[in-house]
Every structure is written in structure tokens, then in C-alpha cells.
Amino acid sequence: MLKFEENISLKPYNTFGIEVQTKYFYKITNSHELKEIISRNQNIHFRVLGGGSNVLFTDNFKGLTLLIANKGIEVLEESKENITVEVQAGENWHEFVLWCLNHNYGGIENLALIPGNVGAAPIQNIGAYGVELTSVFKYCKALNKDTLEEEIITKKDCGFDYRSSIFKTIKKGKYIITSVCFKLQKFPHNVNIKYGVLKQTFLNRSPKIQQVAAAVIKIRQSKLPNPKILGNSGSFFKNPLVSKSHYELLKASYPELPSFSSTNEQLKIPAAWLIDHLGFKGTIHGGVGVHKNQALVLVNLGTAKGKEVLDLAKKIQLAVKKTFNISLETEVNIL
């Protein structure tokens, strides 16, 4: 019989460093445990936690928190050009990136130092510096909470979009991802340095994947606070998508307003620019603040409560809506 821990603090399990408790707690080490717990505890409300890097806890939880902590990386197949690996959901994402770099497997070097675990990567369709997860994703295995059967969900069926997937939209709460399968490149690699700051870093050079990762890490460390020192969850807001007509209207009032091309005749506007322009960058609001180097990052200055962080987020959203008529969506899950 699997035994739960009781009245456990979740502060060590969320990068915001928010002090909340869960009534019951269990660390999952394999998919069989996961299936058994759910099947035997139908009457207990539960939620799943991975690396804790994309959540904001606002209250204690009276149910069961399941920490996904299964580990392992397995090579499934390889050819002269590519290698396919299956990675368990509980593996740390950046440690997996380092594993790939050590084995000279390319494709995710631009995604170095993204916090969280592998299992959360498809949910968010993580991306950075011109690369998204979808470019290397093959399929994932996930437990269907209704049928308690493990299913294989292909890239086509994941409905990947900008920082989104079916796991955040139409299938939200239906699945628990147990492993992810990636198709990676062998040498020679097709590195992606089209993103502005990387393009400037390497100019006309053709860097190795290890050099790209090192550059990404340096950039991220210069902009983003270490959550072990200053509690945060990385980018709190998504970059909004607006119509070209809306952008042109704003551009008339704010000539310096930047944008990036996107899909469906829309433009992507940097949320950080909007927040910075409104004067929030570097400001302190009680126990929380907006980071001095990156306006997208809300930080816990010590002993803040989750509701304090949420109140600041709502204040920023309201100001952006009032000034630019843009609705900022959160990347972080509010619990």
C-alpha cells in the first residue's frame, strides 16, 4: 500500500519560493505508481507538480499533490543523421540539455537554462531564441486520467501553438505526461542563430552547439534572476499577439514600439516593452517586485504570499489594457 506524507510544505517545490502546504504528498518515481495511486484514491482531489517553475501557489491545498519525479533517458533508435531518445517526465530540462551537449546531439541548445522538468515542456511548448520544442518533439506518453491508460500523443495531435498545446486548452487536466520522445541531430548540426542577439553574437561564424548553448546561458543569466536566490517563475506573461491594424494604431502613438512577425496575419509585441514603458520595471510592491533587468519577471523579495504576486500581476494587466488595449495572458499557472 502506497503511503502519503501529510501536511507537507511546498516551498521547496516551487521556484517562486511561496510557503503553502498540501494535505497529502507523494513523490512519483514511475508510471505504475501513478496509475495505482489514481485508481485507488478516486475520492481524493489531486493535482500534479513537476519542477514547480511555472506555477504560482496562492493558497494551501486540501488534497493530494503528486510530484512527478521519474528519471531516465533511453536511446530508442538512431541513424547517420539523427537519434531518437525517450526522456522521463521527471528529468530536469536543463540537465537534459547538458546531456545532449555532452553527447553532441543538436536541436535544443537554444533552450538551455529554461527552468522546469521535461514533462512540462510539451504543455507549454517551451521556446527561446528562435527555437520551440515542436522542432524536436516526436511524441509523448501520457496517462489518461479518465481511462487510466497510457496513450502515445503525436506532434500532430498535440495542437502546438505559441506557448500552448492541447494540454493547456481543450485537453487541460485530462492527461499526465509521463515521458517525452525527441528526435535530435547528429553532427553536422543545423544550428539556429537567426534570433537577433545570437546573430549579433556570432556574426558570420558557424558556431558549435556547445557555443550556442553557452551564449544562451550567458544571456539568460544576465537578464533573469536565479530562483535559488530570488524567487521567480521566469517570464510571467506571454508576448501578446495583435492584428496588424491594431499595431499600426499603436505605432502612431508609440513610434518605438517593437514587433515580430507571427502567424495568421498577426504581430507579436514584446510584453516586456509594454510593462517597461509603463514604468513597472524595477519597482517594488510590498514583498514582491518587477525585476530590474527583465520586466517580464515578477519576483518574491523574501516572504511574499502568492496572492501578493497575483495582485501585482493583475495591476500590470490592468495598466496594459488601459493604455494599449492589449490583454496580457499569464504563462504561469495560478493555483
CA 204 and chain centroid, separation: 31
Q: How far apart are the first and last CA of the chain?
A: 29
Q: CA torsion 316→318→323→326, rounded to 10°? A: 90
Among 160, 192, 222, give the residue marking a domain's end.
222
Report the pLDDT value the prediction gives residue 202, as an integer from 0 to 100.
87
- The CATH code of the domain that includes 184 is 3.30.465.10
**Number of structural domains found in the chain:** 3
Could you confirm whether 331 is annotated as catalytic? yes
Tell me, yes or no, whether 89 and 158 share the same domain. Answer: yes
Q: Is residue 59 within 8 Å of residue 309, measured between CB atoms?
A: no
Catalytic residue among 91, 109, 235, 308: 235
pTM of the entire structure? 0.85
Could you confirm whether 256 is annotated as catalytic? no
Report the pLDDT value the prediction gives residue 265, as an integer from 0 to 100.
79
Residues 6+ apart with CB under 8 A from 316: 237, 275, 278, 280, 290, 328
Closest CA relative to residue 87, chosen from 107, 73, 69, 101: 73
Residue-wise pLDDT for 135-191, tens only, equals 999 999 999 999 999 999 999 999 998 888 999 899 998 999 999 999 999 999 998
Among 198, 222, 246, give the residue marking a domain's end.
222
Q: Is residue 254 within 8 Å of residue 183, measured between CB atoms?
A: no
Q: What percent of the chain has pLDDT over 90?
A: 77
Residue 264 pLDDT more than 70? no
Q: Which domain covers residue 216, as residue numbers?
A: 73-222
Choice between 203 and 21, residue whose per-residue pLDDT is larger: 21
Residue 34 pLDDT more than 80? yes
Arithmetic mean of pLDDT, 115-127: 92
Report the pLDDT value the prediction gives residue 263, as an integer from 0 to 100.
64
Tell me, yes or no, whether 114 and 186 share the same domain. Answer: yes
Q: Is residue 267 within 8 Å of residue 260, measured between CB atoms?
A: yes
Alpha helices in the chain (DSSP H): 31-40, 93-102, 121-124, 196-202, 209-223, 244-253, 271-277, 306-324
Q: Which range among 71-75, 196-200, 261-265 shows the weakest confidence by mean pLDDT? A: 261-265
Arithmetic mean of pLDDT, 309-324: 97
Tell me, yes or no, whether 80 and 217 share the same domain. Answer: yes
Report the pLDDT value the prediction gives residue 48, as an integer from 0 to 100.
92
Tell me, yes or no, whether 128 and 238 share the same domain. Answer: no
Arithmetic mean of pLDDT, 264-292: 93
Catalytic residue among 19, 135, 150, 163: 163
Report the pLDDT value the prediction gives residue 228, as an integer from 0 to 100.
87
Report the pLDDT value the prediction gives residue 203, as an integer from 0 to 100.
79
Report the pLDDT value the prediction gives residue 193, as an integer from 0 to 100.
86
Tell me, yes or no, whether 134 and 229 share the same domain. Answer: no
Q: Please give the Cα distance from 51 to 119 (Å, whole number).
A: 9
Among 222, 248, 264, give the residue marking a domain's end.
222
Cis omega before residue 270 (within 30°)?
Answer: no
Secondary structure class of 137 (helix, strand, coil): strand
Could you confirm whether 86 is annotated as catalytic? no
Residues 6+ apart with CB under 8 A from 283: 289, 290
Position 114 confidence tier, pLDDT thresholds 50, 70, 90: very high
For the beta carbon of residue 69, count every other beta carbon within 10 angstroms: 19
Position 41 confidence tier, pLDDT thresholds 50, 70, 90: confident
Tell me, yes or no, whether 81 and 196 share the same domain. Answer: yes
Q: Is residue 289 within 8 Å of residue 308, measured between CB atoms?
A: no
Tell me, yes or no, whether 98 and 189 share the same domain. Answer: yes
Residues 6+ apart with CB under 8 A from 214: none
**Helices and strands counted in the chain (H then E):** 8, 20
For the beta carbon of residue 203, count every other beta carbon within 10 angstroms: 7
Rounded to the nearest 10 degrees, the angle between the axes of helix 93-102 and helix 209-223 is 150
Tell me, yes or no, whether 92 and 199 share the same domain. Answer: yes
Q: Cell 503511503 sits at which residue?
A: 3
Q: Cell 544562451 sits at which residue?
A: 216
Residue 201 pLDDT more than 80? yes
Q: Please give the Cα distance from 109 to 97 (Å, whole number).
A: 7
Tell me, yes or no, whether 103 and 174 share the same domain. Answer: yes
Tell me, yes or no, whether 199 and 111 share the same domain. Answer: yes
Q: Please give the Cα distance from 101 to 180 (Å, whole number).
A: 18
- The CATH code of the domain that includes 44 is 3.30.43.10
Cell of 210: 556547445
Secondary structure class of 224 (helix, strand, coil): coil
Tell me, yes or no, whether 82 and 148 share the same domain. Answer: yes
Secondary structure class of 63 (helix, strand, coil): strand
Closest CA relative to residue 14, chosen from 225, 177, 203, 227: 227
Amino acid letter, residue 60? N
List Cβ<8 Å contacts ≥24 apart for 254-262. Answer: 262/162
- The CATH code of the domain that includes 288 is 3.90.78.10
Residue 196 pLDDT more than 90? no
Tell me, yes or no, whether 94 and 206 share the same domain. Answer: yes
